[in-house]
Amino acid sequence: MKFKVIFLSLLFLVSQQLVSQEQLYPDHFPLQDIRLKEGIFKHAMDLNIQSLLEYDTDRLLAPFFKTAGLHTDASSFPSWITLDGHVLGHYLSALAIHYAATGSTDCKNRMDYVVSELKRCQTAIGNGYIGGVDLAFWNNVKAGNIHAEPFGLNGVWSPWYNIHKAFAGLRDAWAYGRNEDAKEMFLYLCDWGLTIIDPLSESQMETMMICEYGGMNEVYADAYAISGDIKYLNAAKRFSHKVFFDKLSARIDNLDNMHANTQIPKAIGYARVAELDNEATAYTTAAKFFWETVTSNRSLASGANSRDEHFPPASACREYIETRNGPESCNTYNMLRLTGNLFSMNPDAKYADFYERAMMNHTLSTQHPGHGGYVYYTSARPRHYRIYSEPNVSMWCCVGTGMENHGKYGEFIYTHSGDSLYLNLFIASELNWREKGITIEQETLFPDADSSKLIIKTDTPREFTLKVRYPGWVKPGEMSVVCNGVNYAASASPASYVTITRTWSNNDAVEIKTPMHVSIEELPNVPEYIAVMYGPVLLGARTGTEHLAGLIADEKRWINYADGPLFPLTEAPIIVGEREEILEKLNNMQAVPGKTLQFTAPDLFILEKDKDLVFEPFFRIHDSRYMMYWLSMTEKEYLKVRDEMERTEYEKITLDERTVDVVAPAEQQPELDHQLQSHASNLGYHMEEGWRDAGSGGFFSYRLRTDEKEELFLMVRYWGNESGSRTFDILIDGKVLVTENIVGKWNKNEFVNVEYPIPANMLTGKSFITVRFQPKANNVAGGVFNLRLLTKKKIDIFELSLLIRNIESKLQKINIGSGVGEYPEDIVSEFETTLNASKALMEDEEATEEDISNEVASLKKAYRNFLAEKTGPPLIHFQAAENNQIIDLTGNNFNAELKNMANTREMGTYQVINLGNANGYVDMSAEAGDALAQMEDFSVSVYYHIRSGVSIVGRGNFLWTFSTRENCSEDTGGYIAYRVNAQRYALSEKGWGNESEALQIGLPATKGKWQHLVYTQTDNIAQIYINGELKAEGKMYCTPSEIGATSYNWLGKSPFPTDAYLRGTLLYDFKVMDRTLKLSEIEELAGEVSRLQYAYDNPAGTSNPSGNSTMAWAENNKIIIHRTQSIETCQVYNVLGVSLFSVDLTDEITEIKTQPGIYIVKTSTGLTQKLIVN
């Protein structure tokens, strides 16, 4: 430690011989010695200078003059007025940085002017202080009177954070701008700061640091580096915030729900302390671990982090996709600074890889390339957009960091350590390495081209080591670094440095190739959302310019986010397929002619509207809605979640559309935006949501805008299972709206939203109202998890609109006509009329919830009946016949066989299949399984009777099976099958261990009685009917067509070799249809059960359970009817229920000649008879 102090003291003595910036950052070249050449980064820097010079410097200085008691005609900017002064510090840094980077005299003159005016303020105050926060406040802190919340200290918004910008601005005016007055003023300000914190105990310091304090530890470490005075390093360590530091130094990630940009500057300070104190190993660990966990676990593909300014827990990362407010620009500004510091301590290529990614994809993208405005939030929500600041209007924190960002592109291109020169970034530039007397020119169009060239300029040959970064995104063996014909990268690996040590002569050149490829990166903890990278470049896509509300922000404080309407996630482009398939399609993207880094990939999308989307660098997308992350699933996976996603999106967007104003408690921006006032109030997080409450004698309140509406509702979000005493008043402008008690009210462990109607007299003539939560004596008010002002709720039309959407999608796929598998034109036309009536009801403003509900039920029934009109016979239809024969009634000549002593037997007028007791089954033939290849909407019907004494519990007992393998296993064989032990239908593409779809009643089938089963599946809805009654219904997203044709198709046998056969069972009339069935059809089929049971109970008699003596039978290609009543008529139907002809039974015996087949005979006196005519 002494060595370091002595060294720094000596350094201080000779500082006049060093460039200021090098004194602070020895491995960095002075920014004055690096000049950007033409390219995207120089354009951003030059544009930024134009923006900087538009700002009214005197208005930025106004709060400093006010605090110093000096007169000024300038007024403060109203935007972020409660943090007045913070932007001036950033502005001073930005002027110094841009002067150093470009030599701009305009920036230099304005920087010097700001320093001189601040010196007047410091002189007038007389104790070293400079700032926009009143001195009386600081004296109160100094006295130990401290009440802190995350963004408030004694009721003032983050005062240390505010004046930290003045500290940093003065430091940078010296370090970059070489203004010596700035250095003296900086150290004087540091001394004043010591007078505030020296009287405080460690406990008081820790309490104070609950409130955001910016990078105070960093600036005090810098003061030590400048002066060599140990008191500053000690102060830096006092600003460590132990509650945070101790976890990080133990490599524990405690960042969940923490405000991101409160924590990142702390880590920068830890790194600076570690750089300057060799013994501060815990600081090294804390800084490195923070960087590792943020970059590896908490950053997006752009390199940015945070949603709604906070680090989300793993379980809440999906909120990146849901919220308007994605990563904050300030975070990346600070992460780049931390990355540079860590690289100085250990020049690892991983730091340079991250620096490149975050700088290019996020920082560069946060400046508008036309007018130069800055971005606050970069939303990751599909099809949202960003808004931009305007000079002298928006005074956000991200305006301050944005002012600095675009002058620092040259800072990390080159670094050095001894005789080693590191090439970290591929940016067109020129380095003047004064110490070596050489100049290095870098020629590149990167990232629009994948090559760079270094040219050495020197009057005298010089020996040094060049280290060229081998990016982690270049594949092994693909990078080349060629000098004088030698490829020095031949044996190098990605994420490292290629080393060339030699004596360099004038005009020596190094040719660098960094081939770029497409890759996919998942959203952290949300693997179904992916980003597309091309090398280090994040590719996005423009999706339209509709409803870009507030594209350039006004001076209202909260207009720092894009508050235009949210577009449904379910309507965003979706990439469908397996990952390998997606990568293959991305690798085959087509370049857009005449454009750089623009590609199309029409085969990637399933919807026609998305096929023209153009992938391009995200940093080039402005003034547009866009895609950054894409939902990526197989089509089956998407179908499984689509309806739930759409319901969730509908509810969120409906709530968003109703919202006039909203507060998220425990979050900085919303609470500050809404002028939080509180006393005896606490805050925290539960189930990943922030809350605030107030104890006895306390309160908390927010000011919400009404947009002068007079019919509003106050929505408050509570936890549904609170304990203790929680009776409280909710007041509006001092008048009680309601008295609430939330203990024992819901008794459920979930959030509850309550809407309170607000009387018009509390709203009339008001643009804002103050909502206050105040507990009764000895009670707690809240917790409150969310607070909204809402307009009147609209009728919920989601289910009807979803049904209509699904129907319209189906109608696009059907074939109209009179052929097999087609829908008759008149039936289609009639149904479309019904559908249009439903659509009209959705637009009817007078429709009620009951009207909508009734319409949903009516349309579902009409839709089902329509789908049942699909023409054509069953795909599979087997009936038993005499002499152990199975008849194929489809005409396809499927050759079904009885196996293992299964047989047919007569049961009254019926012929049924008897599976017997010796593992009998029916082999329906391999050809019958061909039908599965075309089945999507389908129905399976069969009658069965299981003898009472037969055991059907345990494995096996399959009623029917269609399988791709004779013996399936846990992970092989595709099948659809129905088993009676749980009355369960299941589908699997890969064995019993992967049954992706199943529907079951969950109880064994009834034994000792005839039963009728219908399994039907239409539009992802599956149903099981037993004897005409719906017994089970659920979602089913796989269809038999996904299994394909099956070769092993059985009645009574399992697809698994060790399973039990279905024994002691009779079967009748098995058929498979490629359509749904009308409810009336299912009921009619179930009507056969009573006749089967009658025939079973009376095997020698007739199948006429009604007792009517009229009889019918089949004989010699005839239907014969014996009439006993005086007057009867007879109707004859085919098996599909289509009427063939009608006959008056005028004679006692009537004979009707027919073709072979199955017929249903019905008489006017109640006889219904199924006959097989051979």
The Cα 982–Cα 954 span in angstroms is 9
Q: What residues does 443 pair with on adjacent strands?
A: 453
Give pLDDT tens digits for 721-761.
999 999 999 999 999 999 999 999 999 999 999 999 999 99
How far is Cα 96 from Cα 106, in angstroms, rounded to an integer? 11
Contact 341, 271 (CB under 8 A): yes
Contact criterion met (CB below 8 Å) for 219 and 187: no
Average pLDDT, the chain: 93
pLDDT band at 880 (very low <50, low <70, confident <90, very high): very high
Q: How far is CA 926 from CA 899, 932, 976, 989, in A?
A: 15, 11, 15, 18
pLDDT in tens, 673-694: 899 999 999 999 999 899 999 9
CB hemisphere CA count around 1014 (13 angstroms):
28
166-218 confidence digits (pLDDT tens): 999 999 999 999 999 999 999 999 999 999 999 999 999 999 999 999 999 99
Residue 985 near residue 1000 (C-beta atoms within 8 A): yes
Least confident of 456-465, 893-902, 911-920, 1143-1152: 1143-1152
How, if at all, do strands 630-633 and 574-576 pair?
parallel
From start to end of 484-563, where are the E strands? 486-487, 496-504, 509-513, 518-523, 526-534, 537-544
- Whether 962 contacts 1046, CB under 8 Å: yes
What pLDDT sits at residue 1137?
66
DSSP tag of 740 = E
Query: Which element (helix H / strand E) includes 804?
Result: helix 798-811
1013: which strand partners?
A: 942, 1026
- Cβ contact 781:728 at 8 Å: yes
Token reading at 1005? 């089938």
Instruction: Look at residue 966 in the predicted model and tell me its pLDDT.
Output: 95
DSSP code of 475? P
Enter the pTM of the model.
Answer: 0.84
Q: Would the pLDDT of 390 be above 70?
A: yes
Model pLDDT for residues 567-598, shown as the tens digit of each residue: 999 999 999 899 999 999 999 999 999 999 99
Any bridge partners for residue 522, and if so which?
A: 530
Nearest Cα residue to 243 out of 271, 275, 208:
208
CA pair distance 480, 153, nearest whole angstrom: 55
* pLDDT at residue 1108 in the model: 47
The answer to whether the bond into 447 is cis (omega within 30° of 0) is yes
Q: State residue 1167's pLDDT score.
A: 76
Q: How far apart are CA 628 and CA 1072, in angstroms?
A: 46
Alpha carbon separation from 773 to 61, 729, 924 (Å, rounded): 38, 6, 72
For the segment 772-819, what is each residue's pLDDT rounded down to a tens digit?
999 999 999 999 999 999 999 989 999 999 999 889 988 988 899 988
Q: What is the pLDDT of residue 1109?
A: 57
- For helices 57-68 and 105-125, angle between their N-to-C axes, nearest 10 degrees: 10
SS3 of 89, please?
helix
Mean pLDDT of 454-482: 97
Q: Please list the helix, strand and coil fractions of the chain in percent, rounded to the nearest 5, in that order.
A: 35, 30, 40
Q: pLDDT band for 492, please (50, 70, 90 cuts).
A: very high
Q: pLDDT at position 557, please?
A: 57
Q: Please, what are the domains in the chain? A: 32-208 (no CATH), 414-513 (2.60.40), 518-546+567-646 (no CATH), 657-790 (2.60.120.260), 798-867 (1.20.1270.90), 876-1097 (2.60.120.200), 1111-1173 (2.60.40)
Q: Give the single-character DSSP code of 1093.
A: H
Q: Return the closest-CA partner of residue 389 out of 553, 593, 219.
A: 553
Provide mean pLDDT across the span 843-851: 91
Residue 1088 main-chain phi, psi, to 5 deg: -70, -20
CA gap 896, 886 in Å, rounded: 6
Q: Which residues does 905 contact at the CB level (< 8 Å), separation at least 6?
A: 880, 911, 912, 914, 1066
Of the chain, the end-to-end C-alpha distance in Å amounts to 107
